[in-house]
Amino acid sequence: MIKVIAPVGALLISVALLLMGNGLQGTLLPIRAEIEAFGPVAIGIMGSSYFLGFALGCLSGPIIVGRVGHIRTFTAATALASTVALAHALITEPWAWWPLRALTGFAFAILYMVIESWLNERATNETRGTVMSIYTVINLTVIMAGQMLLTLYNPASFAPFALASILVSLAALPVALTTSLAPAPLQSTKIRILRLYRISPVGFVGAFTVGLGNGAFWSLAPLFATGSGLDINGVALFMSLVVLGGAIGQYPLGKLSDRTDRRRVILAAAVGVVLMGGLLPFVTVMFVPGLYVGAFLFGLTAMPVYALSVAHMNDFVESDGFVEASSGMLMIYAAGAIVGPMVASWATGLAGTDLLFPYIAVVYAGFAAFVVMRMRVRSAPHPDVRPDFVATAGTSPTINTLDPRSDSDASPDPALAGGPIEPSPTGSAPNHDDGRGMVSRTPPEQG
């Protein structure tokens, strides 16, 4: 294990610091916004702004890296993210925080992209799966630690903003001081959204559903927690338990999906989200500590749905198309996460924060109905002819190059150049592989 971690240890430290700072901001800002008397809609727009900036960062990151290189790009994005974290404390107005959140999303998308391309460059074919597993564990656990940092300071003070800025700034040191060569320039991935839907409607709609539901959760759940009677320590624990539930749920649900029709597991998870979304508002009235159990169970069912949806999409994609398809799924998720917080904030503005989880339940109920419909239309690929589930961090398109299922040495498939998709009467994997090319081929070694 030490031999695997040693070449990428400094980069993993940078990732941990970035995620900790971002996790702290994610919970701090809605709470501080509530203290400053921002309305639910204004707070929802903050969440949408972050994901809009994130999507723009994913699209423009390869262009910026190609012009100035990895190290300069990382240093500039770190400076931007650190400055913006402090700027939130200087101007506490909605009209200022909306563009600041967009800038934060933009900067973090680029930071993740640079780090992940570097990890991919350092990893070998033998260590790639281990590196991705370590990266995913860090992604889940460090965000939880970032949530708990909120308990150290009064959210109405300057201190938590300074701490978030310090964490992001420190993340630049391992990269800025590295003596190793920078990775090859990144190249943009051309994504054909309509073809993604034709390949796997369930995977496509699943990614968008997670954006609609979970994007609203990350933006507004701290308000729900405070409205349910939790203090700042309780809010941090509530959010951390959601992340913990998601971390624990990834592996068993993923492995179960490898042994059966993956859509059955996706459907079960979606139904679980519907149940928890319907129950959580009532738990606040009867038993406030029960919120913690509800938070864990919500994370257990809701957080793995994105990775399961990506895995289902990849069931119909050849190994040389995993990176492109997964990148497209991330953009679909971002699109949902731009819309979700605004819709949910409008609903909670009308009826209070207790409506957040019923909104999420309605979103996932619609998805569950869609999955049932698709299961009647299309048969599942046999488990023996599809790739195994791999938990994904979902931070930037570049992380998909670390996916051990991707074939970096595979020759380009004609379908990836935009060839016609041939319909299959059965929906089995071999026939639908003819339609796997919804995105153009990007050399994996270049991210």
Q: Greater confidence, 115 or 212?
A: 212
Mean pLDDT of the 203-220 span: 95
**Mean pLDDT, range 232-250, rounded to an integer:** 92
Q: Distance of CA 81 to CAs 87, 94, 351, Å?
A: 10, 18, 34
**What pLDDT does 255 receive?**
84
Stronger pLDDT, 395 or 239, i.e. the higher one: 239
Q: Taking residues 90-111, what's their average pLDDT?
A: 95
SS3 109: helix
pLDDT in tens, 407-427: 544 333 333 333 322 233 333
Is residue 250 over pLDDT 80? Answer: yes
Across the range 240-255, mean pLDDT stands at: 89
Pick the most confident of 113-122, 149-158, 184-193, 375-384: 149-158
Would the CA dihedral through 7, 12, 15, 21 be positive or negative? negative
**Inter-residue contact 180 to 440 (CB < 8 Å):** no
Q: Which residue range(s) make up the domain with 85?
A: 2-446
Please check the confidence at residue 303 and state whether its pLDDT lies above 60: yes
Model pLDDT, residue 357: 96
Whether the pLDDT of residue 89 is over 50: the answer is yes
Q: What is the pLDDT of residue 390?
A: 52
* Cα Dmax for the chain: 62
pLDDT top residue among 410 and 59 = 59
pLDDT of residue 343: 96
Cβ burial of 169 (10 Å; 0-12, 13-18, 19+) is middle
- The structural domain count of the chain equals 1
Question: If pLDDT is split at 50, 70 and 90, which confidence band does 405 have?
Answer: low
Spatial distance between the Cα atoms of 424 and 319, rounded to a whole number of angstroms: 20
* Dist. CA 430–CA 407, nearest whole Å: 17
- What number is the average pLDDT over the span 331-359? 93
The predicted pLDDT at position 325 comes to 79
What CATH number has the domain bearing residue 160?
1.20.1250.20
Give pLDDT, residue 428: 36
DSSP at 192: -
> What mean pLDDT do residues 360-381 have?
90
The pair of structure tokens assigned to 87 is 């700027």
- Which position has the token pair 């041939």? 422
Q: What percent of the chain has pLDDT over 70?
A: 76
pTM value is: 0.82
Among 1-10, 54-63, 273-282, 416-425, the range scoring the smallest mean pLDDT is 416-425
Quote the pLDDT of residue 202.
94
- Per-residue pLDDT, 283: 81
**Per-residue exposure over 119-144, b if at least 16 CB sit within 10 Å of its own CB, e if not:** bbbbbeeebbbbbbbbbbebbbbbbb
pLDDT above 90 as % of the chain: 47
> 89, 36 in Cβ contact below 8 A?
no
pLDDT band per the 50, 70, 90 thresholds, residue 25: very high
Whose tokens are 């973090």? That residue is 108
Q: Hey, what's the torsion of the CAs at 310, 314, 315, 321, to 10 degrees?
A: 180
Stretch 128-145: mean pLDDT: 78
- Closest C-alpha among 382, 370, 397 to residue 431: 382
What is the signed CA dihedral for 257, 263, 265, 270, rounded to 10 degrees?
150
Q: In 3-state terms, what secondary structure has residue 235?
A: helix
In sequence order, the 6+-apart residues with CB closer than 8 A to the CB of 412 are 320, 441
- What is the pLDDT of the chain when averaged over all its residues? 81
Over range 138-157, report the average pLDDT.
90
Neighbours of 1 (CB within 10 A): 8
Burial class (CB in 10 A: 0-12, 13-18, 19+), 264: middle
Least confident of 39-53, 113-127, 301-315: 113-127
